[in-house]
Chains A and B, each alone.
Chain A
Amino acid sequence: MPLYGNELGPDVTPYDAGLGRVVKLEKPDGFVGAAALAERAQAEPRRVLAGLVLASRRVPRHGYPVLADGRTVGTVTSGAPSPTLGRPIAMAYLEPAAVRDPKRGLAVDIRGRAEPADLTELPFYRRSRV
């Protein structure tokens, strides 16, 4: 889930964060920013909140760059080792082009070393219902 201060902030629209469903543009009295948001709702997203799973044990932390072919294509917003998945996981804002090909290898620059990362669907884990 996006957290204010990490995935959310004054410079992020609900559409960037995948939270477009919570915006009700047709409120009878309107609201501050409605016109700007209506425009963003139609436009191609500027960035996409994506999930990453890393191959190594090193943990991506807030602010680390995400790389594709050595070029920065986004930034990690949250990261942690996942005890359930046994791997470090992270959320990151990426250029829309970077998530179009899920097979494309990404990497996170962890203090100077590029650690391979794979795109994954959010949420990272769903408890199976018995």
Chain B
Amino acid sequence: MSVPAELRYTAEHEWLAVDGPTATVGITEFAARSLGDVVYVSLPSEGAPVTSEEPCGEVESTKSVSDLYSPVDGEVTDVNADLEDDPGLVNADPYGAGWMFKVQLAAGAGADDLPPGLLSAAEYEELIKDSD
């Protein structure tokens, strides 16, 4: 199970890639595998404000529907429109083509100033290691 070291993670099985004032968000390979084939992804609108730990969309698989949470506070600047036509990208490439949305971090926040609940790759691996 791949858990890229350069990313940050949440206990809701999402990943966060921080690049300056912008963060890209997706779900982890563990989450994608647990959900099964993703058939629909509902994403926040561009320009919408998101609040950390609050639902901002949903991920529907053949088996279930799960809320999508924002790991950080900020404003959505971009969403992955490719997921509308091909939600299977989430399963095929969860850390790449299956990314979900980008957030402009709230003023003052940057890579060194993220919410305290985020996990490192090692901490996330620890979280999922007994669930395989």
Contacts and interface: CB of A to CB of B under 8 A. Distances in A.
Q: Is the interface of B mostly helix, strand, loop or mixed?
A: strand
B58 interface: yes
A81 B60 CA distance: 11
B37 to A, nearest CB: 8
A88 B65 CA distance: 14
B68 to A, nearest CB: 13
Contacts of A58: 39-40, 60
A59 interface: yes
B58 A57 contact: no
A81 B39 contact: yes
A57 B62 contact: no
A111 B65 CA distance: 10
Interface of B: 39-40, 58, 60, 62, 65, 87
A42 to B, nearest CB: 42
B91 to A, nearest CB: 14
B40 A59 contact: yes
Interface in A85-130: 88, 111
A58 B122 CA distance: 35
A80 interface: yes
A57 B62 CA distance: 10
- Return the 6 tightest CB-CB contacts between A and B, nearest first: A57-B40, A81-B39, A58-B40, A57-B39, A81-B62, A59-B60
Contacts of A61: 65
Interface string A30-56: 000000000000000000000000001
Contacts of B58: 111
Interface in A58-88: 58-59, 61, 80-81, 88
Contacts of B62: 59, 80-81
Contacts of A81: 39, 62
Contacts of A59: 39-40, 60, 62, 65
A30 to B, nearest CB: 44
Contacts of A57: 39-40, 60, 87
